[in-house]
Structure formats: structure tokens, C-alpha cells
């Protein structure tokens, strides 16, 4: 059975999410939500059907939701939308690409998307409303708290904690067993030593 899914955000990250969603064959995209002036447009063949003002009504219709707005400088907008979904008692999807490897001993919470070619190893824990982007590596015992973005080809080594709201840039690599601060911004290509 496919699950009706509404995507919140219709930009570039949404396009990547749609590709993953289509590959899973678990969901049917009902439509997208974005700004008023974009209603009626479409992204990869899916219509923009409303704005975030329509979330409550759509949640009452029993649709599931995924936030498909990207996160670089701050997680503030993704957090706000996630809180709105929770307040409406909306169903919040978790999407995992069939091209990702997620250990059966790892855990991934609601609202998170795991993109193509990700590897999440044993006893890693990924929180709510996270983006685990293409080709990233999350090693054993790593903890990614809520509202984080692990960007393309980034590496979190064993036992690392990425605190709530943090961003790990493309090709960044962490030392093992270090911890970030909340809302950390770790730039692309850097080595994170804690």
C-alpha cells in the first residue's frame, strides 16, 4: 500500500527528495506546499497545491508530510514547520532511499530523509527532521540529534555527536568521539576536531 505524501518546500532540495521518494515506491506524492505566488506551478510533474497555511486542513485529511526545505545556515524554518506538524498531530514520514544502507542496529526517527548511497552503521542514532544527504557516512555509535543536516559525502566517524540543529558541510570529516555544540556550522571540506 502506498502512503499519500505532501511535501513542504518546492526548491532544489525538494527535487532530490522526490527522486528518493519515487525510488522507494512506498509513497504517492499528493502535492507540494510553498509560497502563495508559486501555487499552481509544478516541480518534476507534481503540483504546488498550497502553502503551509494549509497544513492543518491537510493533516485532518490523513495525509503524511515530509519537510523538503533544505538547511544550510540555520535549521530555524525546518524546526518551525516540524513543530507545526506536531501541533496538528500530522503523520510525519521517514524516507530511506533503497540505495542507502542502514544497519538493522541503527535507528532513524520521524521526519528524516536518508538520501541515495548513504551508509549508516551499527548503533548509530539519527533524530527527528534530519537530512542525511547523498553519499554521507555515519559510523557506529554516532548520534545525530534532531533538525541536523549531514551534507553530501560528509563523514561522521565512530562515537561522534552532532548536536541539535547542526550542519555538517559537504566532504567534511569528523574525528572520532567528538561532540559539536547545538546549531554548529561545520563548513564544507573541513576536518571537525571537536
Nearest-angstrom CA–CA distance, 127 and 138: 13
Question: Do 110 and 164 have their domain in common?
Answer: yes
Residue 1 above 80 pLDDT? no
pLDDT tens-place string over residues 100-121: 999 999 999 999 999 999 999 9
107 domain-assigned: yes
Residues 62 and 99 in one domain: no
Last residue of a domain, one of 93, 112, 139: 93
The pLDDT score that the predictor gives to residue 73 is 86
Residues 102 and 178 in one domain: yes
In a domain? residue 193: no
Domain holding 72, by residue range, is 3-93
- Residue 21 CA to residue 92 CA, distance in Å, equals 14
- Tally of structural domains, the chain: 2
Span 132-152, average pLDDT? 98
Examine residue 192 and state whether it is found in any structural domain, yes or no: no
pLDDT in tens, 21-62: 999 999 999 999 999 999 999 999 999 999 999 999 999 988
pLDDT digits (tens, 9 = 90+) for 53-110: 999 999 998 899 999 999 988 999 999 999 999 999 999 999 999 999 999 999 999 9
* Per-residue cell: 176: 572520532
Alpha carbons 71 and 159: distance in angstroms, whole number? 24
The pLDDT of residue 33 is 98
- Is residue 111 domain-shared with residue 52, that is, in the same domain? no
Closest CA to 57 of 109, 97, 113, 6: 6
Other C-beta atoms closer than 10 Å to the C-beta of 159 total 18
Q: What is the CATH number for 32?
A: 3.40.50.20
Amino acid at each position: 500500500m502506498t502512503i499519500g505524501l505532501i511535501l513542504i518546500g518546492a526548491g532544489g532540495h525538494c527535487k532530490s527528495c522526490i527522486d528518493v521518494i519515487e525510488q522507494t515506491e512506498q509513497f504517492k506524492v499528493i502535492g507540494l506546499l510553498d509560497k502563495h505566488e508559486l501555487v499552481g506551478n509544478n516541480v518534476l510533474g507534481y503540483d504546488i497545491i498550497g502553502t503551509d497555511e494549509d497544513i492543518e486542513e491537510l493533516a485532518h485529511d490523513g495525509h503524511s508530510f515530509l519537510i523538503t526545505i533544505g538547511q544550510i545556515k540555520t535549521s530555524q524554518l525546518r524546526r518551525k514547520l516540524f513543530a507545526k506538524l506536531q501541533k496538528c498531530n500530522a503523520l510525519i514520514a521517514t524516507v530511506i532511499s533503497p540505495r542507502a544502507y542502514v544497519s538493522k542496529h541503527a535507528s532513524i526517527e520521524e521526519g528524516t530523509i536518508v538520501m541515495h548511497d548513504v551508509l549508516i552503521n551499527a548503533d548509530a542514532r539519527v533524530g527527528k527532521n534530519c537530512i542525511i544527504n547523498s553519499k554521507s557516512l555515519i559510523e557506529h555509535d554516532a548520534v545525530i540529534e534532531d533538525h541536523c543536516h549531514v551534507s553530501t559525502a560528509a563523514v561522521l566517524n565512530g562515537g561522534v555527536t552532532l548536536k541539535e540543529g547542526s550542519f555538517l558541510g559537504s566532504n567534511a570529516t569528523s574525528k572520532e568521539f567528538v561532540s559539536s555544540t547545538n546549531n554548529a556550522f561545520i563548513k564544507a571540506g573541513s576536518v571537525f576536531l571537536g
